Amino acid sequence: MTAVAVTGIGAIAPNGKGTDAYWKSTVEGLSGIVPVSRFDASGYPAKLAGEVPFDAAAHLPSRLIPATDHMTRLSLAAAEWALQDAGVDPAELPDFGAGVITASSAGGFEFGQRELENLWNKGPKYVSAYQSYAWFYAVNSGQISIRHGMRGPSGVVVSDQAGGLDAIAQTRRQIRKGTQLIISGGVDGSLCPWGWVAQMTDTRMSTSDDPERAYLPFDPAAGGHVAGEGGALLVMEELEAARRRGARIYGEVAGYGATMDPRPGSSREPGLRRAIVTALDDAGVNPDEVDVVFADAAAVPELDRIEADAIDAVFGPGKVAVTAPKTMTGRLAAGAASLDVAAALLAIRDGVIPPTVHVSRAPEYSIDLVTGAAREAQVRTALVLARGHGGFNSAVVVRAAR
């Protein structure tokens, strides 16, 4: 089977804009979780977020600004950085040789709130012409393809937080079918009052107002997560073709598995373990070859238990390093998982496992959670896990290119 490589990373995260800034903060354990500043959240139970302040005018043509949601602007920046990092100009590729496949969760929700306000406060004539696409789930793939002239296969998947990995898998599939290069992953967020209220109904959001105590997966005080915005876009190519053009190879997307949990109330096993096993089989990797697991890290005790059990069942208790750098960014919806894949590839590059910050592992878990500070380790193969509300489980194996 054709090997597929990642050759460019564009990360944009609450603890760092740009891949270098993100990775530096992440290795140092610097969190980007802050009191919400984008709107007045004082009246809401959840008060903290992973925000990405962004001067759109400095990064984007001014004509794009009235037509785009904040998360689309972030994604346009990330796409540009990823291409620069890969040293590729899609305009120089053959026609239809490049595509864009992104994950979305709620589309441009802040844009949507403004237009709903216009409609219900002022009337139908006040709805923006750009509402017809600026809020919808496909907007980032569309805008990125237009900006960089990418006419190949494009796509959009929505599987809540698992979507970032599903997009990467769909990308690998299209590259194996013959597309030369695809920008893949997710950059997401809906930090506006309407999006905030909608996210809170998930009942998994932390109500702590202490940035150091709000998002504590696998900790005795685990009490939900902090929501954030941002993510990462990756440039993916066929490995041999990337080598031929002399590209720097971050690593190979070697395996993927996805499952759906049984319906609630079922006594059947949750799907996460099966997603892991499928991804390892797909990669042809034995559990003992995996050097680190980037956990989904829900910080909801019941869900942390399912994840710890799945990891233990596949690897054996305490046999593999586990980490959750998203404790520094919050959960970034469809942006979370591709940012974790970026972190996994950078861990391979630098031989360092970033920490799970602010967490003391609860004694009932036997996973080897990397807490406190980053751990130096040779990382050849990493497993990234992501789960979405509604039973979605996805797993991706990345490894150093052979």
Residues of span 98-127 touching another protein by CB under 8 A? 99-100, 104-107, 109, 112-113, 115-117, 119-121, 123-127
The contact mask relative to another protein for 369-388 (x = CB under 8 A, - = no) is -------------------x
Residue 348 is encoded by which pair of tokens? 């391979």
CB of 91 vs another protein, minimal distance in Å: 10
Please give the Cα distance from 313 to 293 (Å, whole number).
13
Verify binding: residue 315, another protein, rule CB under 8 A: no
Verify binding: residue 294, another protein, rule CB under 8 A: no
Please pick, from the candidates 47, 70, 274, 358, the single residue that binds another protein as defined by CB under 8 A. Answer: 274
Residue 30 is encoded by which pair of tokens? 């610097």
CB 232 within 8 A of CB 342: yes
Please give the Cα distance from 155 to 169 (Å, whole number).
12
Asked whether the CA dihedral 156, 61, 114, 79 is positive or negative, the reply is positive
HSE value, Cβ hemisphere, 13 Å, CA-based, for 368: 12
Verify binding: residue 67, another protein, rule CB under 8 A: yes
Residue 296 is encoded by which pair of tokens? 């989904």
Closer residue to another protein in complex, CB, 96/288: 96
| Count of Cβ atoms closer than 10 Å to residue 4 Cβ | 24
Burial class of residue 97 in the structure, from the number of CB atoms within 10 Å of its CB (0-12 exposed, 13-18 middle, 19+ buried): middle
Tell me which stretch binds another protein (CB under 8 A): 3-11, 268-276, 287-295, 367-375: 268-276
Bridge partner residues of 13 (DSSP): 16
Please pick, from the candidates 3, 79, 158, 342, the single residue that binds another protein as defined by CB under 8 A. Answer: 158
| Count of Cβ atoms closer than 10 Å to residue 181 Cβ | 27
CB of 63 vs another protein, minimal distance in Å: 4
CB of 219 vs another protein, minimal distance in Å: 24
Closer residue to another protein in complex, CB, 158/321: 158
CB of 359 vs another protein, minimal distance in Å: 25
H or E stretch covering 301: helix 301-315
H or E stretch covering 114: helix 109-117
Binding-site size for another protein (CB under 8 A) equals: 95
Please give the Cα distance from 132 to 149 (Å, whole number).
21
Verify binding: residue 130, another protein, rule CB under 8 A: yes
CB of 122 vs another protein, minimal distance in Å: 8
The contact mask relative to another protein for 192-221 (x = CB under 8 A, - = no) is -xxxxxxxxxxx------------------
CB of 310 vs another protein, minimal distance in Å: 14
Judged by CB under 8 A, the chain residues 10 through 49 that form the site for another protein are 39-40, 43-45
Verify binding: residue 261, another protein, rule CB under 8 A: yes
CB of 358 vs another protein, minimal distance in Å: 26
77, 144, 175, 243, 254 from 172: Cα distances, Å: 23, 18, 5, 17, 9
